[in-house]
Structure formats: structure tokens, C-alpha cells
Amino acid sequence: MIQPPASLSGTSSAPITVVAFNDGQVTIDGQFATAPVSLDKNAYINLQGFNVKNGTGAVARLSSTRNVTLKRMVMWDADIRLNSAVFYNIDSANTLCEDCAFFGTGAVLIENGFYAGGLTCRRCWGRWEGSTTNWSGKVAFDMGYESVPTSICENCLVTATTLSMPAQFTATDYQGGTTNNPNCVNGSGTQTVVPCPEFIYRVRSGPGNPMYNGRILGSLIYLQSGDTWPGLGMIAVPSGWDASGLHVRHSMSFIHPSNARFNSLLGFILQNFSTAATDLVASNITSVRGSRGDVATAQWSLSNTAFGTSLSVNPWTTTGTGANLCNRWLNGERTTAPLWPWPMNQRIIDATNAAGSYRGPCLNCVGGRAVRPATDVTAEIQNLLGTIPTQCRS
């Protein structure tokens, strides 16, 4: 396990680095007994090139850390019973996840918050798959909770499905017990559906704890034809209180028109409940959704947007209206470097192919928990959005 003593740290010029000698050929298994990666009050640590899986509470947990970088990491399956995350970034500043992938079970894939000082996800792919806990809303990427400055996604691809859900189970609380959560409609007893599903991607602040200067850049939140997502919608940015300085640029929400819930899910939910919020910008965004549509309050400055029930602009070549997903983003700017094929494509194929089905603890669970298919992200996106042209390929 990667569990250094609290406060053990490198320096800016000499960080502590743990790297797989052969990229992708190392997997650390927490066996649902511990978090395979757990950093507490550490600083200047780099982790690179290996896989971590089967965590309790979290698969990778950063608490009160500073300047930690994770590169070319694949992480999957937190304990399905707990109020858990595949990746927790709690009260941690200047965290970078670059070319990382997250999939499998847990209340959320990424939980970023509790007075954190900044998380950047750059070229991150995520697929939420299942949770039996009633204790919190189900979200794939929960990029802002409580006071969270500079929550950033640059070229994130995020989706959801219920392929790792059991067919029947007993709903559990945050510790795996059976306490009822009155805030969850299906929060107790025997259940057959996901407890309290919400949004695939969410930025959420809290009263007196604003989320400032977040960014969603060159990103895609999507559902394929056969994906099952019983939640409220695709992208909620934000879902409460003051999120001044939040910018959404060249990003897309896409629900496949033949998805069973095409007309039941919201696309973009651009709200803000604080009258003090300023500098809320959504430019060059595309939303393909059904009759429920999108929501945008008057506080948001919208420009060059494309909303509709079909893909009205080409996401690879557009230069005006709508999102362009052709190029890499770096430090808040779109570069000329092609994004495709997806940088972790083979690593994700290998990891999803090897993952099998969820094998962890599950209270009174029956059936379900399907074997994960080997997932080719580049092919998946082409099936949704059309052939990726030469100028978008490296």
C-alpha cells in the first residue's frame, strides 16, 4: 500500500516519487480492508503509472495534502455499502490528476471538497457504476463541496451506468449499517434501484462556503444508448450558493437519442442561488438532450451555445457555435495539440478487461454486478459523435 507516515514530504525541487517501472503493470489491491493509497498531511509527492483497486472508504484518499500529483493512474471499486469514493481529495491544495481513469463502485468516483485548495483533473475519464448507500446523492464527479476554490476539469470524459449494481440489496448508511436516511426516497430496507441518484457531474458549494473560480474546459459528460442512469440530469454547475468565477467553455452534455431516459434527464443545469455571485460564464457549450431540456438562470452569461435534441454542430471542427473537443487544454487555455486518441485508451482497455465484476462486500445482495466489458474510450466517443478527423489525432 502507498500509506506514508503523516507529514512525510518531499520538496518542490525533490518530490517523493513512486512510479511503476513498467507503466500499467503494477496493481495494488486494498482487498476492501484499506485504502490502497492514503496520504495525510503529506506534500510534494508524485504517484505514477500503476493501478489501485478495492478500497474501503476510498481507493485513493488525500487528506490535508499539498502539491500531490497523480499521473497515468487507474483506480476502481470502493466498498459499495459505504459513503465512499474512488478518489477523495479532502482539505488538500494543488492536487493534480493527469491522464487518470476512475470507474466502478462507490457513492461517488471523485469527491473534492471540505475546504480543499484546488484540484485539477486533466484528461481524466470516469464511469460510475453502482452504490447501495443511502447517505449521499450519487454523483460521478463531485468537483466542489463546501469551500472549494479552483476546481478544474480540462478534457474530462464522464459517464455513468448501473452495470455493477446488484439486482436486489439492503440499503446501507454511511458505515454499511441499515440506518434510514429520511432525505433519501428509497433510503431503507430492501431495494432494487440506486438510492438517491443525482447528477453525473456536479459542482456544489455550501452556505457561507463558496466555490470560486472553477473551470470545466473541453469536457464531455455523456450517456450511451444502453446506459442506465436513474438520476436527475447530466451537469449541475452549480447546485447551490455562491460559485463566482465559474466558467464552462467548449464542453458538452450528450444523451444518446435512443437512451431510454432521453426525455427524462436535464442536460445543463446552470443555476446559482446567491445574489452575490458574479462572473458566471458558459460559452461554446453543446447540449444534446430530450424534452426536459436545460436550465440557465439569468446570472449566467451564455454565448455561442447549441442546445437541441440532436447534434447540430460538429464537435471536431466547429470554430463558432458549440463545443469543440478536438484539442488538449492546459492551464486554462486550449492548445493546438490534438487530444485523440484518448491518452489512456489502452490502459483503460486493459484495466476494465481485467476488473471482472464487483466482488466486494454487499449487504443481502442478489444478482446483478455484471462483468465489466473491455472499454475502448476512443471508439466509444466516435460511436457517439462521429469519426474523429485527422487534425484531432496525434
pLDDT tens sequence across 292-319:
999 998 889 999 999 999 999 999 998 8
Q: Is residue 1 part of a domain?
A: no
Average pLDDT, the chain: 94
Lowest mean pLDDT across 65-74, 237-246, 268-277? 237-246
22-66 tens-digit pLDDT: 999 999 999 999 999 999 999 999 999 999 999 999 999 999 999
Mean pLDDT of 354-380: 98
Under 8 Å between Cβ of 87 and 97: yes
Number of domains in the chain: 1
In this prediction, residue 232 carries a pLDDT of 94
For the four alpha carbons of 18, 24, 30 and 36, in that order, the dihedral sign comes to positive
Question: Is residue 214 pLDDT above 70, yes or no?
Answer: yes
C-alpha pair distances (Å), 251 with each of 29, 180, 203, 248: 34, 38, 15, 7
In this prediction, residue 213 carries a pLDDT of 84
Question: Is residue 239 pLDDT above 70, yes or no?
Answer: no
Block residue for cell numbers 491544495 = 93
Under 8 Å between Cβ of 132 and 82: no
Q: Is residue 7 part of a domain?
A: no
Burial 82-98 (b: 16+ CB within 10 A, else e): bbbbbbbbbbbbbbbbb
Residues in Cβ contact with 272 at an 8 Å cutoff, skipping those fewer than 6 apart: 238, 241, 242, 243, 280, 297, 299, 300
**pTM greater than the 0.85 cutoff:** yes
In this prediction, residue 157 carries a pLDDT of 98
Q: Is residue 6 part of a domain?
A: no
Q: Is residue 10 part of a domain?
A: no
What DSSP designation does 383 have?
A: H
Under 8 Å between Cβ of 186 and 219: no
In this prediction, residue 271 carries a pLDDT of 86
Residue 111 DSSP SS3 = strand
Percent of the chain with pLDDT over 90: 85
Dist. CA 62–CA 394, nearest whole Å: 33
Q: Is residue 345 part of a domain?
A: yes
Under 8 Å between Cβ of 192 and 386: no
Supply the range of the domain harboring residue 344. 16-392
In this prediction, residue 240 carries a pLDDT of 62
